């Protein structure tokens, strides 16, 4: 299966980068053809341009700055996202990747009457998500009701790839974990992905 791993963390020695290495090794052992897209290392520009936004409801989305990224998304069967959850949301660079690459005419089509949008990412069969959070699990689950999971599963996949299987693993209290707890989380990745 053709797999794109999108990583969004600025530090090379971060826990996210460590989990990325372990995840890639595991996926390759399972036979996935893995391509890595490290948004920070690539210097991905997350800012939706004026021309891109103006073209959102035109016949053609102005994709000239992100054409290769869009082609890459439209060719993968499995998408793996690895990122820290900051302020119970995505890093800005990852949110910008969604804004610019999950674009009209590619990830979805606008309805002619501005009604519900129509999905286009029929190629996407699996989305696997790994995120780290500094907070305890109960804050994410009970206080904020898992906002990141809702956006990924209900908004992005719900609009663009409804037949895509979704799995998400969250590593809580990530700023004070022992090596043993990190290894247990890696075991969860290997048993769930």
pLDDT tens profile 79-122: 999 999 999 999 999 999 999 999 999 999 998 888 889 999 99
The H or E element spanning position 191 is helix 179-192
Share of the chain above pLDDT 70, in %: 100
Mean per-residue pLDDT, 141-169: 97
Q: What is the pLDDT of residue 111?
A: 87
Average of per-residue pLDDT values in the chain: 96
How far, CA to CA in Å, does 60 sit from each of 65, 69, 105, 122, 161?
14, 16, 7, 20, 20
Contact 96, 46 (CB under 8 A): yes
What is the distance between the alpha carbons of residues 55 and 49, in angstroms, rounded to a whole number? Answer: 10
What six digits make up the tokens of 31? Answer: 């036979």
Q: Is residue 149 very low, low, confident or very high in pLDDT (cuts 50, 70, 90)?
A: very high
For residue 154, which phi and psi values (nearest 5 degrees)? -90, -40
Query: For the whole model, what pTM was predicted?
Result: 0.96
Q: What is the pLDDT of residue 28?
A: 98
Q: What is the pLDDT of residue 188?
A: 98
Any residues with CB less than 8 A from the CB of 34 and at least 6 apart, and which? Answer: 3, 4, 5, 24, 27, 28
Domains annotated for the chain, with CATH where assigned, are 2-192 (3.40.50.360)
């Amino acid at each position: 299966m053709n797999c794109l791993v999108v990583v969004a963390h600025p530090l090379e020695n971060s826990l996210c980068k460590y989990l990325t290495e372990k995840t890639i090794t595991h996926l390759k052992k399972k036979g996935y053809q893995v391509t890595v897209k490290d948004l920070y290392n690539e210097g991905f520009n997350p800012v939706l341009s004026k021309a891109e936004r103006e073209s959102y409801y035109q016949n053609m989305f102005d994709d000239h700055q992100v054409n290769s990224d869009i082609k890459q998304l439209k060719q993968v069967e499995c998408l793996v996202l690895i990122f820290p959850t900051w302020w119970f949301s995505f890093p800005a660079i990852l949110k910008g990747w969604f804004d610019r690459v999950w674009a009209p005419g590619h990830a979805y089509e606008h309805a002619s009457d501005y009604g519900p949008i129509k999905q286009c990412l029929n190629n996407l069969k699996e989305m696997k998500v790994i995120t780290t959070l500094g907070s305890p699990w109960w804050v994410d689950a009970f206080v904020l009701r898992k906002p990141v999971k809702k956006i990924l599963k209900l908004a992005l996949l719900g609009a663009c790839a409804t037949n895509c299987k979704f799995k998400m693993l969250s590593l809580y209290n990530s700023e004070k974990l022992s090596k043993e707890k990190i290894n247990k989380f890696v075991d969860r990745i290997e048993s769930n992905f």
